[in-house]
Structure 1
Amino acid sequence: MAGGLAALLDDIAAIARLAAASVDDVAAAAGRASTKAVGVVVDDTAVTPRYVTGFDPRRELPMIHKIALGSIRNKLLFILPAILLLSQFLPWVVTPLLMLGGAYLSYEGAHKMLEWFGVGGHEAAEEVEDRAVRRGPEQEKKMVAGAIRTDFILSAEIMVIALREVTHEPLLSRAAILVIVAIGITALVYGVVAIIVKMDDVGLHLAGKPSPVMQRLGTSLVKGMKHVLQVLATVGVVAMLWVGGHILLVGIDELGFHPIYDFVHHAEGVVGSWVPAIGGVLSWLTNTLFSALLGLVVGLVLVGVRALLPSHDEDGAQEHAAAH
């Protein structure tokens, strides 16, 4: 009896160790998958604060909370089941889907880069200004709904990029990893967004303190957050071009067209041999540079194609003119 109990305890301990190892493996895979989506994460973090601009400061955190819940619903209820089914029954679709996402990232990155040079930036400025005057409950609902729609696209990119890193895992492990990625990245993005949005209020609060040190700190926070957002937006654009271009680079090679990837791979080896002590870093920088250039070229082409298509504004103007 004692021997049977000891054997049972040994079996339970073995199962517990196996379960712990599986949890560690899932967590490690989720971490690796999350890092691949860094470009989209930074862009999501940079874009979201715009949606609460101009509203009552007391409504900023509730709005972010609603957008975060919408983001979780997007990822877990819609995107996750769809990509799991595709990866299980149509695994060959994952690479084309990923490349579509890479093309979208490249388009967004190129579009925002053109805005830096004053091309297409007026519409964005007017949109932000328009948002600043829409402050009622109905406008809040519309703004939150718009943010959730935009998040759907970015969330789909994050989940497909993460899926690409774990397609070799069993279905249940794949699902567990992607759930962790969805929850972890959503918490990270909207936690950082909440901090960014409320940092101005913290700065104003400190600036009103009697202590000169607190006043200087508060003033610095208020002034500094504008620069933080600008840096974050710049990093987001570069990251989108890099990630989008790298997805396209690898995808083109996997679909059977090898010259571009082979050229970049050869360039990595040549540059990496210049200074062997930091050869790995130089090779990575080389790949990143060519990926970003490819993303920029593809993005500019897509921006040009989009510019040739009729916009909703133009259609509305034509209908308005015809009505009169």
Structure 2
Amino acid sequence: MSGLLALLDDVASIAKVAAASVDDVIGQAAKAGAKAAGAVIDDAAVTPKYVQGFDASREIPIVWRIAKGSFFNKLVILLPAALLLSAFAPWAIPPLLMLGGAYLCFEGAEKVAHLFGGHHEADEAASGDPTHLEEQKVAGAIKTDFILSAEIMTIVLAALPPGGIVMKAASLAAAGSGITVLVYGGVAAIVKADDLGVLMSLRGRLAVTRALGRGIVHGMPRFLKLLAAVGTAAMIWVGGAIVIHGLYELGWGWLHHHIHDIAVAVAARVPQAPGLVEWIVTAFFDGLFGLALGLALIPVATRIIAPAWRLVARLRPRARPHR
């Protein structure tokens, strides 16, 4: 009996340690995932456009296919790569973060330039084979998700406290899985909200229910535009902040110090909420820098990188068809 009691006591101790480890993993994943909020918002804002123009019955299957691709990107490709970087090349994390931040600035600035330039994307799903178009849309969405997921996982990795590789792997997996569920669960709810509104407006028993349904139907286009604007702003702001912080870590911190000094000086004039004011001013200048950097990168990407990439693609040997 004494041996059994000792065994049960050992089991209880192990269970307590395991529970504490789970709490640590979830806590670290939540804190680190919050650092990637800007990229997460942009991921949620970008994805709904990939189901526009398709039949309502295909919306959830398309979102699910993209979500599966996102899980594969984060857990199978990016998580091992992040752990290898952390173990063998931690010095490479800040430059990679800056590269991803510059890409976010470029993407956001390109959207702003298209908005003011009167450019509007054509609806590719309006014509052609729906199956082929769906394959193209899903493939494009998964490629975009890979870039955003790489940025998210790198931000999460940089935000994790020092620890063993098992704890880092568990925290990265928890953060990546939680973010994916949050993003694509939200996207699924967004793309089906208009269907819910139609159902409420037609079958609602109460007048207020039918009115709410009509409000959802009429309000969703505006909401999607607002979501896209928020995603673009978050992309530019987060990208700018990442680049500025990376420059600071590499020893070029003059811009970081100037923004900090300005934010502190402005916050001192508003003693009621100095912390909030300092954050707003810092975010404003981070976003302003991100927009300027993104606009500067547009000609570099369109006139140098894109032509060079097309040249490389043409020079690659093509596979010969099997006879």
Same fold flag (TM > 0.5): yes
Aligned mates of 1:310, 1:16 — CA distance in 2: 54
Query: Which residue in 1 is equivalent to 2:256?
Result: 261
User: Which runs of structure 2 are paired with 1:106-117 in the superposition (5 Å)?
Assistant: 106-117=105-116
Q: Indicate if the aligned counterparts of 1:30 and 1:177 stay in contact, CA closer than 8 A.
A: yes
Query: Which residue in 2 is equivalent to 1:138?
Result: 132
Q: Does 1:182 align with 2:176?
A: yes
How far does residue 272 in structure 1 lie from its aligned partner after superposition? Answer: 2.5
Aligned mates of 1:199, 1:144 — CA distance in 2: 21
Q: Indicate if the aligned counterparts of 1:71 and 1:152 stay in contact, CA closer than 8 A.
A: yes
How far does residue 102 in structure 1 lie from its aligned partner after superposition? Answer: 0.5
Q: Does 1:287 align with 2:277?
A: no
SS in 1 for 2:241: helix
Aligned mates of 1:107, 1:48 — CA distance in 2: 18
- How many aligned positions are there? 309
How far does residue 115 in structure 1 lie from its aligned partner after superposition? Answer: 2.3
Query: Which residue in 2 is equivalent to 1:250?
Result: 245
Per-residue CA deviation, residues 302-321 of structure 1 (Å, 9 max, x unaligned), is 01322433857xx79xx9xx
SS in 2 for 1:277: coil
How far does residue 169 in structure 1 lie from its aligned partner after superposition? Answer: 2.5
Aligned mates of 1:168, 1:190 — CA distance in 2: 30
Query: Which residue in 1 is equivalent to 2:265?
Result: 270
Aligned mates of 1:265, 1:283 — CA distance in 2: 8
How far does residue 243 in structure 1 lie from its aligned partner after superposition? Answer: 0.8
Counterpart pick for 2:223 among 212, 220, 228: 228
Instruction: Give ranges in structure 1 of 5+ residues lacking alignment.
Output: 320-324
Shift of the 304–188 alpha-carbon distance from structure 1 to 2, 3 Å rule, reads: same
Q: Percent identity?
A: 47
SS in 2 for 1:96: helix
Query: Which residue in 2 is equivalent to 1:168?
Result: 162
Aligned mates of 1:282, 1:234 — CA distance in 2: 22
Query: Which residue in 2 is equivalent to 1:64?
Result: 63
Query: Which residue in 2 is equivalent to 1:238?
Result: 233
SS in 1 for 2:203: coil
User: Which runs of structure 2 are paired with 1:1-324 in the superposition (5 Å)?
Assistant: 2=2, 5-118=4-117, 121-122=119-120, 125-126=121-122, 129-134=123-128, 136-166=130-160, 168-209=162-203, 211=205, 212-309=207-304
Aligned mates of 1:310, 1:30 — CA distance in 2: 35
SS in 1 for 2:135: helix
Q: Indicate if the aligned counterparts of 1:42 and 1:236 stay in contact, CA closer than 8 A.
A: yes
Q: What amino acid does structure 2 have at the position aligned with 1:295?
A: G
TM-score, normalized by length of structure 1? 0.89
Q: What amino acid does structure 2 have at the position aligned with 1:163?
A: L
Per-residue CA deviation, residues 83-103 of structure 1 (Å, 9 max, x unaligned), is 110111110000000000110
Q: What amino acid does structure 1 have at the position aligned with 2:104?
A: L
Aligned mates of 2:306, 2:243 — CA distance in 1: 27
Q: Indicate if the aligned counterparts of 2:124 and 2:133 stay in contact, CA closer than 8 A.
A: no
Aligned mates of 1:210, 1:10 — CA distance in 2: 57
